[in-house]
């Protein structure tokens, strides 16, 4: 019998997929009015457990009690009716529909004649947006919103169900500091109202700031539950990865060579202007800045996803024109995109197909047929060298953890033997253990003489890994710094918020 002080109890939950035992008899107990964190590396089972809770995956065995009642054989619609809602890590808005249509999809208010009551839906949406202090017209198309605002709309949608238990899976991955503080304010208000929140995040500082309790999983097994006040971050890391991580950023000193890439006065109308920098062989060049600073637009222009308005791109002392990703690939450039789900992975295809898809022509034999044997050998080598955790290369990408999906994308681009590798938010949404592996991989590429450009919104990451850092603010370069011990997070943020320019103007 479940205990009444708990809104949720999940006991001895087992979930198996073909070839994989994702959950090996795990537990979770959540009290009323509690913010409960779930921690673990990618593949630990957190998201799988939550999908069992909201009816996406039927559990293989075990018991689930919600509000002291056993629940079984239910789907997502049943979970919502019971009062369980979830904000998913991967955003999936209906882009060409409005905010209000996205929030009330499938449950639109109706007139007496059965037609959709657009006026009522508009007013209801305004009320929901007001709760999260988001000043947007409910009729705005989702395609016109930034990723950060789309994330806030997903939060508004979850709140609109008036759920008793809200699951938040990496809700801050696309949010700036101001928006994160607003989210925490909303979470504390929901807690005061007696709502319970399950909070999944890899940002340990967030968990210690806003959560009451933390439960840790590892490799599909339950490790333990602790009060936040009773545990320190190094202890949490040890529970998550089964080992102590003494050096989170394994930066190695590389022999930095000649200038590989030079950018002169690069401009993109309405996005950025007069961007100048260079990147050397064997160098990790970091780009920092707040949301809207123009970081992503700069690297997408370099890679040909956007057409520059003016400026020069020079590779190996020769000016080049890059008008498409194909042009960039010919110049031995590769881009790991910011949103792997939206424009990175092909979720329904296999690991093998995702790795080889960017370079199929490499495996054409003299008869123009695909050389499957050679491709298989190469894919096996990448899976082994990058340590991609998958039962087989034929596993569907959607069944891999976020960290392993990211490694597959890295393997895809390494296959073209790039000399300039651009990484936009390379560790977004992956755990601390997987991050360390990605960092080691980045360092090894620099050791091989590759030029690495790394964009990150996490200051400890960009400062921990980069040789030099370019800071941007509102489409302009605020400064470029050698990454020495004298460069602090405070100084970087000073330039990222435009304070340097304001001081100069005074």
Q: Is the dihedral of CA 390, 392, 393, 398 positive or negative?
A: negative
The structure tokens listed for 110 are 């109706």
| Residue where the block lists tokens 């395609």 | 143
The pTM of the whole model exceeds 0.75:
no
> In 196-322, which ranges are E strands?
196-200, 213-218, 221-227, 259-268, 272-280, 284-289, 310-315, 318-320
Domain ranges of the chain: 6-241, 256-332+419-432+448-506, 347-417
- In the chain (506 residues long), the average pLDDT of successive 10-residue segments reads 81 86 93 93 82 93 94 90 85 86 90 92 92 88 85 85 89 78 88 93 86 92 93 82 59 85 94 95 91 87 94 95 92 82 76 85 80 88 84 87 81 86 82 76 89 87 89 91 75 75 50
DSSP string, 284-352: EEEEEE-TTSSHHHHHHHHTTSS--SEEEEEETTEEE---SHHHHHHTTEEEE-S-HHHHT--TTSBHH
Burial bucket for residue 73 (CB in 10 Å: 0-12, 13-18, 19+): exposed
The Cα 443–Cα 446 span in angstroms is 5
Three-state DSSP at 169 gives strand
In angstroms, rounded to a whole number, what is the distance separating the alpha carbons of residues 201 and 126?
29
Characterize 373-383 residue by residue with b for buried, 16 or more Cβ atoms within 10 angstroms of its Cβ, and e for exposed.
Answer: eebeebbeebb
Domains 6-241 and 256-332+419-432+448-506 share a fold: yes
For the chain, helix (H) and strand (E) counts, in that order, are 18, 20
pLDDT tens digits along 206-259: 899 999 999 999 888 999 999 999 998 878 877 877 755 445 676 677 789 999
The pLDDT value recorded for residue 245 is 46
Positive or negative, the Cα torsion across 179, 182, 187, 193? negative
The helix (run of H) or strand (run of E) holding residue 89 is: none
Number of neighbours of residue 191 by Cβ within 10 angstroms: 17
Query: For the purposes of burial, counting CB atoms within 10 Å of the CB of 86, is it exposed (0-12), middle (13-18) or buried (19 or more)?
Result: buried
CA distance 255 to 415: 24
Cα gap 485→455, rounded to integer Å: 20
Q: Is 213:32 a contact under the CB 8 Å cutoff?
A: no
Q: Which two tokens stand for residue 274?
A: 């007069």
For the chain, the helix, strand and coil percentages under 3-state DSSP, each to the nearest 5: 35, 25, 35
- The CATH class given to the 6-241 domain equals alpha beta
* Phi, psi (deg, nearest 5) at residue 85: -125, 160
Tokens of 384: 């082994």
Neighbours of 228 (CB within 10 A): 17
Q: What is the DSSP letter of 74?
A: -
What's the N-to-C CA distance of the chain in angstroms? 68
Q: DSSP E strands: which ranges in 244-403?
A: 259-268, 272-280, 284-289, 310-315, 318-320, 333-336
**Token match 């998958």: residue?**
390
Query: Quick one: which of 52, 71, 81, 432 has its CA closest to 236?
Result: 432
Tokens representing 379 are: 């894919």
| CATH T-level assignment (fold) for domain 256-332+419-432+448-506 | Rossmann fold (3.40.50)
Question: What pLDDT, on the 0 to 100 scale, is given for residue 385?
Answer: 79
Q: What is the pLDDT of residues 136-177, one digit of tens each?
A: 999 999 988 887 788 888 888 888 888 899 999 888 877 777
Strand partners, 354: none
């Amino acid at each position: 019998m479940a205990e009444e002080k708990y809104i949720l109890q999940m006991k001895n939950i087992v979930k198996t997929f073909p070839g994989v035992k994702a959950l090996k008899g795990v537990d979770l107990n959540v009290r009323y009015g509690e913010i409960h964190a779930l921690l673990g590396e990618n593949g630990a089972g957190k998201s799988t457990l939550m999908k069992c809770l909201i009816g996406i995956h039927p559990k293989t065995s075990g018991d689930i009690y919600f509000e002291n009642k056993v629940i079984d054989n239910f789907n997502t619609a049943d979970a919502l009716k019971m009062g369980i809602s979830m904000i998913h890590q991967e955003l999936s808005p209906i882009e060409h529909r409005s905010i209000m249509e996205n929030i009330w999809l499938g449950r639109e208010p109706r007139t007496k004649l059965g037609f959709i009551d657009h006026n009522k839906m508009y007013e209801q949406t305004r009320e929901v947006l007001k709760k999260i202090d988001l000043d947007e017209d409910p009729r705005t198309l989702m395609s016109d919103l930034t990723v950060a605002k789309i994330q806030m709309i997903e939060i508004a949608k979850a709140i609109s169900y008036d759920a008793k238990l809200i699951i938040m899976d990496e809700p801050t991955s696309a949010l700036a500091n101001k928006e994160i503080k607003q989210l925490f304010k909303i979470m504390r208000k929901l807690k005061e109202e007696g709502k319970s929140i399950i909070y999944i995040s890899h940002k340990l500082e967030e968990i210690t700031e806003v959560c009451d309790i933390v439960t840790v999983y590892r490799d599909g097994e339950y490790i333990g539950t602790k009060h936040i006040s009773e545990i320190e971050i190094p202890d949490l890391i040890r529970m998550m990865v089964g080992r102590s991580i003494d050096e989170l950023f394994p930066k190695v000193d590389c022999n930095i060579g000649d200038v590989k890439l030079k950018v002169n006065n690069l401009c993109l109308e309405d996005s950025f202007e007069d961007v100048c920098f260079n990147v050397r062989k064997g160098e990790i060049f970091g780009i920092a800045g707040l949301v809207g600073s123009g970081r992503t637009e700069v690297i997408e222009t370099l890679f040909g996803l956007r057409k520059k308005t003016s400026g020069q791109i020079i590779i190996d002392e020769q000016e080049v024109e890059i008008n498409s990703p194909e042009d960039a690939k010919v110049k031995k450039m590769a881009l790991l995109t910011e949103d792997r789900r939206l424009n990175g992975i092909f979720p329904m295809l296999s690991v093998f197909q995702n790795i080889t898809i960017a370079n199929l022509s490499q495996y054409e034999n003299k008869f123009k047929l695909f050389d499957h044997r050679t491709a298989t050998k190469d894919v096996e080598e990448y899976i082994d060298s990058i340590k991609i955790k998958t039962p087989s290369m034929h596993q569907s990408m959607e069944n891999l953890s976020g960290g392993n999906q990211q490694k597959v994308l890295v393997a895809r681009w390494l296959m073209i033997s790039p000399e300039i590798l651009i990484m936009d938010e390379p560790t977004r949404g992956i755990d601390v253990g997987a991050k360390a592996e990605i960092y080691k991989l980045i360092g090894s590429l620099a050791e091989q003489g590759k030029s690495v450009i790394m964009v990150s919104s996490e200051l400890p990451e960009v400062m921990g890994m980069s040789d030099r850092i370019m800071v941007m603010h509102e489409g302009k370069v605020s400064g470029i710094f050698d990454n020495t011990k004298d460069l602090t997070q405070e100084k970087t943020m000073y330039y990222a918020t435009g304070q340097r320019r304001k001081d100069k103007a005074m």
